[in-house]
């Protein structure tokens, strides 16, 4: 079916002497279709009626009934059934008839927002902040990363925080970091139905998350309606923007490098996007955000690390010592947000407490007692003896010969070594 604009174009080209085939190639249509419009047999904007005797006519009642029984049955399945009933046309022709005759019923739950009328929601300045996780499965450092993205609904300014988990403690840590980068918080937070914030199957906020929202002074936490992620379209758009405009080309080798890179990108690039006569950064600067409390919410973050051979564990770009007896084992590292220290736990007990070094400082923090214990273990294992010689003659001893005789049932006889058996063993002939 041609649009009125296409109909005018083909008429003009025909008057200028173009052939029907040339016009068809130019507009990307079948030459029979072009000829029908030029002759007046077809009208622009009016779909052609099915040709009498269309082979699909005989199968339409069956296909229609199958789609009433199951609106989601695949076209390939219907086509196979129709072929079994005698349909002789190709699959593309079959699917064209399905679409042209609009045989598949509309399913509103599955359609979601596609095809519906929609309206842009007006977000007053400082009213709403949207949150969502971006999961990066393929990272240059070989470990999955969780990136918490926050976006102000009015200005669309966004900030992000790299994390190694999406549990509630890491979520709270990410919220704290993102809010500090914004310099404040909006009055309301909007999230999808993440289980760390919203009770599954309800619209109620998790009891463990309520103190977090109260700590930062927000008026409320609003979940998106089920299967309507576009209600938080601002943060969804921010995630798409960061993924395609920054992450795809970011030259980073660790989560710390990625964090520094995305921080620079948000300020130097994302905030400079135009919004009419102003920029995203200027709009955000004018938003009346609520002030942040002086200290973060005291959530306790827990991570598990393997103790290296030098009795150190890595955390956020620094290394901390453990007792040498834990080498090769696992320890829990616990840190309460805002606290200056971290604690290391093994077998349910605290094995070390360290002063927390700045992230990415590349420091090695060792306790004196751990250093002394590690030196003792290394020195005790130190040996100056020569290694054993390998090219010496040591036939079976008398004790070994006596045991061999007992096995053979011939006391005092030397064991007979059958070299052919040895050969067969080495060549894998004997199991």
Q: What is the DSSP string of 204-223?
A: PBPTTTHHHHHHTT-SEEEE
pLDDT at 382 over 60: yes
Query: Whole-number mean pLDDT of the chain?
Result: 87
Residue-wise pLDDT tens digits, 209-259:
999 999 999 999 999 876 555 667 899 999 999 999 999 889 999 999 999
CB neighbourhood size of 33 (10 A): 18
The residue-averaged pLDDT of 11-24 equals 87
- Residue 301, beta-bridge partner list: 335
The residue-averaged pLDDT of 370-382 equals 81
Predicted local distance difference test score (pLDDT) of residue 414: 54
Residue whose C-alpha is closest to residue 45's, from 7, 102, 10 = 7
Question: What pairing do the DSSP bridges indicate for beta strands 300-306 and 330-336?
Answer: antiparallel
User: Do 78 and 40 contact (CB within 8 A), yes or no?
Assistant: no
Q: How far apart are CA 80 and CA 86, in angstroms?
A: 10
Task: Catalogue all structural domains in the chain, each as residue range(s) with its CATH number.
Answer: 4-110 (no CATH), 128-285 (3.30.420.10), 300-380 (no CATH), 396-431 (no CATH)
pTM for the model stands at: 0.65
Q: How far apart are CA 239 and CA 417, in angstroms?
A: 73
Q: How far apart are CA 128 and CA 121, in angstroms?
A: 11
Q: How far is CA 24 from the centre of its chain?
A: 45
Predicted local distance difference test score (pLDDT) of residue 119: 46
The residue-averaged pLDDT of 355-371 equals 92
DSSP assignment of 321-382: E--GGGTTSEEEEEEETT-SEEEEEETTEEEEEEEPPPTT---EE--HHHHHHHHHHHHHT-
Highest mean pLDDT range out of 48-57, 94-103, 138-147, 368-377?
138-147
Which residue's entry shows tokens 């008429």? 11
Percent of the residues in the chain that have a pLDDT greater than 70, as a whole number: 88
Q: How far is CA 282 from the centre of its chain?
A: 31
Q: How far apart are CA 333 and CA 353, in angstroms?
A: 10
Residue-wise pLDDT tens digits, 82-137:
999 989 889 999 999 998 888 888 776 665 545 554 445 678 999 999 999 999 99
Q: How far apart are CA 156 and CA 164, in angstroms?
A: 25
Eight-state DSSP code of residue 194: -
Which residue's entry shows tokens 């040591």? 394
Predicted local distance difference test score (pLDDT) of residue 420: 67
CB neighbourhood size of 242 (10 A): 23
Q: How far apart are CA 76 and CA 105, in angstroms?
A: 17
Q: How far apart are CA 328 and CA 399, in angstroms?
A: 40
- Cα radius of gyration (the chain): 36
Which residue's entry shows tokens 């309301």? 188
- Residue 133, beta-bridge partner list: 148
Residue whose C-alpha is closest to residue 405's, from 416, 394, 395 = 416
The residue-averaged pLDDT of 260-278 equals 95
The residue-averaged pLDDT of 188-210 equals 91
SS3 345: strand
């Amino acid at each position: 079916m041609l649009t009125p604009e296409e109909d005018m174009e083909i008429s003009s080209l025909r008057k200028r002497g173009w052939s029907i085939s040339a016009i068809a190639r130019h507009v990307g249509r079948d030459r029979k279709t072009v000829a029908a419009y030029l002759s007046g047999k077809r009208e622009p904007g009016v779909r052609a009626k099915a040709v009498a005797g269309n082979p699909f006519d005989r199968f339409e009642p069956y296909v229609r009934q199958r789609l009433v029984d199951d609106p989601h049955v695949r076209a390939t399945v219907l086509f196979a059934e129709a072929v079994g009933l005698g349909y002789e046309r190709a699959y593309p022709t079959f699917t064209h008839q399905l679409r042209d005759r609009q045989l598949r019923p509309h399913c509103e739950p599955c359609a979601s927002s596609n095809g519906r009328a929609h309206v842009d929601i007006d977000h007053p300045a400082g009213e709403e902040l949207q949150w969502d996780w971006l999961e990066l499965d393929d990272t240059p450092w070989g470990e999955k990363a969780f990136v918490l993205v926050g976006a102000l609904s009015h200005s669309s300014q966004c900030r992000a925080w790299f994390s190694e988990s999406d549990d509630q403690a890491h979520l709270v840590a990410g919220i704290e970091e993102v809010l500090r980068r914004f310099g404040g918080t909006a009055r309301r937070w909007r999230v999808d139905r993440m289980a760390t914030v919203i009770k599954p199957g309800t619209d109620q906020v998790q009891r463990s998350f309520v103190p977090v929202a109260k700590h930062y002074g927000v008026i409320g936490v609003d979940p998106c309606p089920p299967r309507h992620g576009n209600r938080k379209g601002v943060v969804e758009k921010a995630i798409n923007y960061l993924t395609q405009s920054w992450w795809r080309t970011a030259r980073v080798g660790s989560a710390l490098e990625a964090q520094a890179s995305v921080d620079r990108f948000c300020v130097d690039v994302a905030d400079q996007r135009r919004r009419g006569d102003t920029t995203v950064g200027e709009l955000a600067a004018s938003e009346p955000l609520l002030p942040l409390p002086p200290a973060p919410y005291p959530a306790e973050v827990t991570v598990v690390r393997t103790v290296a051979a030098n009795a150190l564990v890595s955390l956020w770009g620094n290394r901390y010592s453990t007792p040498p007896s834990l080498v090769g084992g696992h320890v829990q590292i616990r840190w309460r947000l805002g606290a200056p220290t971290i604690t290391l736990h093994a077998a349910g007990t605290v094995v070390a407490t360290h002063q927390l070094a700045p992230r990415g400082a590349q420091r090695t923090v060792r306790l004196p007692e751990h250093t002394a214990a590690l030196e003792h273990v290394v020195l005790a294992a130190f040996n100056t003896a020569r290694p054993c010689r390998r090219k010496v003659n040591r036939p079976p001893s008398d004790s070994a010969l006596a045991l061999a005789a007992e096995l053979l049932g011939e006391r005092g006889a030397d064991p007979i070594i059958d070299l052919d058996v040895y050969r067969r063993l080495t060549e894998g002939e004997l199991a």
